[in-house]
């Protein structure tokens, strides 16, 4: 009884050009850096070596996640699996902070406000101005989505959950190994939901780029039977510290 589990793999995209420059990114569609490309390939190699072979991949509409999925699956020799994409897996929209330097923002607004914007559950940054350089209001890829001008993590969870229920759960229940290739904050929302992390404690959770995080989910509850496991735990621990301290250098 209860011994059957489903396998879910969460993968944050490799380092992006704007991660490298320390800029708030959100829905701005920046490319992977060279290092990010290597991280994505290595993520796929880790999957192959661990024998964790995805049957289907769900990604966002942002090239850093789509390309990470592609590179990782190529390295794992699983490039042929079906791909499903949705804006609901996008990074958290960072509102008026999109395109801003993290260190400058910290210096200008102070650490408390900076950390509220980055990691609180329910405080969104100010809305981005429609028509401004880093706004997506006219982007055709979001024609079928409601207009989004800023989001807190709670907003991300609320728009990701319908996708989880409608698209990811059926794949899990069909016995497929599911890869979700997404973003720091959209994956934080999913991990909060799966692990039942409190609104306060989620502030302390950071996800490293390019290292697969593997969960075994109970077949009845679809909740994890144990903690998620990074396929390279040492590299993950180092990278988590770096994400937590971003802007503070």
Ligand X SMILES: O=C(O)[C@@H](CO)OP(=O)(O)O
CB 114 within 8 A of CB 247: yes
Q: 16 labelled as ligand-binding?
A: yes
In the complex, minimum distance from the CB of residue 25 to ligand X, in angstroms, rounded to a whole number: 4
Residue 78 marked in a binding site: no
Q: Is 185 annotated as a binding residue?
A: yes
Closer Cβ to ligand X, 78 or 88, answer by number? 88
Shortest CB 209 distance to ligand X, Å: 8
- At residue 37, φ and ψ (nearest 5 deg) are -60, -45
CB of 78 to ligand X, least distance (A): 26
- Cβ atoms of 194 and 215 within 8 Å: the answer is yes
Residues of this chain that interact with ligand X (CB under 6 A) are 19, 24-26, 91, 94, 118, 184-185, 243, 246
Least distance (Å) from ligand X to the CB of residue 217? Answer: 25
Do the beta carbons of residue 200 and residue 32 sit within 8 Å?
A: no
Show the tokens assigned to 137. Answer: 């209001």
Closest CA to 222 of 159, 165, 156, 155: 165
- Taking CB atoms, the residue at the shortest distance from ligand X is 25
Shortest distance in whole angstroms from residue 242 CB to ligand X? 10
Handedness of CA 187, 61, 153, 244 (dihedral sign): positive
- Cβ distance to ligand X smaller for residue 135 or 185: 185
Q: Which is nearer to ligand X, 145 or 205 (CB)?
A: 205
Helix or strand or coil: residue 186?
Answer: helix
188 is in an annotated binding site: no
Q: Compute the Cα dihedral for 85, 215, 68, 173 and give only its sign.
A: negative
102 annotated as a binding-site residue: yes
Catalytic residue among 39, 58, 70, 91: 91
Burial group, residue 54, by CB count within 10 angstroms (0-12, 13-18, 19+) = buried
Measuring CA to CA, how many Å separate 66 from each of 19, 63, 181, 203, 243? 16, 5, 7, 26, 21
Unique residue bearing structure tokens 């964790």: 52
Asked if 70 is an active-site residue, the reply is no
In the annotation, is 13 catalytic?
yes
Residue whose CB is less far from ligand X, 76 or 99: 99
93 marked among binding-site residues = yes
| Binding-site annotation: residue ranges | 12-19, 25-26, 64, 91-94, 102, 118-119, 184-185
Catalytic residue annotation:
13, 91
| Binding-site annotation: residue ranges for substrate | 12-19, 25-26, 64, 91-94, 102, 118-119, 184-185
């Amino acid at each position: 009884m209860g011994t059957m589990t489903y396998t879910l793999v969460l993968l944050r995209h490799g380092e992006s050009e704007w991660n490298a420059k320390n800029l708030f990114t959100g829905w701005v569609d920046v490319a992977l850096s060279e290092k990010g490309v290597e991280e994505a390939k290595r993520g796929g190699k880790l999957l192959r070596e661990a024998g964790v072979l995805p049957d289907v991949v769900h990604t966002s509409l942002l090239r850093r996640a789509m390309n990470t999925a592609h590179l990782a699956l190529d390295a794992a020799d699983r490039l042929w699996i079906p791909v499903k994409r949705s804006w609901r897996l996008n990074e958290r929209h960072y509102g008026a902070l999109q395109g801003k330097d993290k260190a400058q923002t910290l210096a200008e607004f102070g650490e408390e406000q900076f950390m509220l914007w980055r990691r609180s559950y329910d405080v969104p940054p100010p809305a981005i101005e429609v028509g401004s350089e880093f706004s997506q209001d006219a982007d055709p890829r979001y024609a079928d989505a409601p207009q989004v001008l800023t989001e807190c993590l709670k907003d991300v969870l609320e728009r990701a959950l319908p996708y989880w229920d409608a698209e990811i759960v059926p794949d899990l229940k069909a016995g497929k190994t599911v890869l979700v290739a997404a973003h720091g904050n959209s994956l934080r929302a999913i991990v909060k939901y799966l692990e039942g992390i409190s609104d306060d404690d989620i502030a302390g959770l950071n996800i490293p780029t390019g290292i697969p995080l593997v969960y075994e989910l109970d077949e009845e509850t679809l909740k994890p039977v144990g903690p998620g496991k990074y396929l390279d735990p040492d590299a993950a621990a180092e990278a988590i510290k770096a994400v937590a301290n971003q802007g503070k250098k």
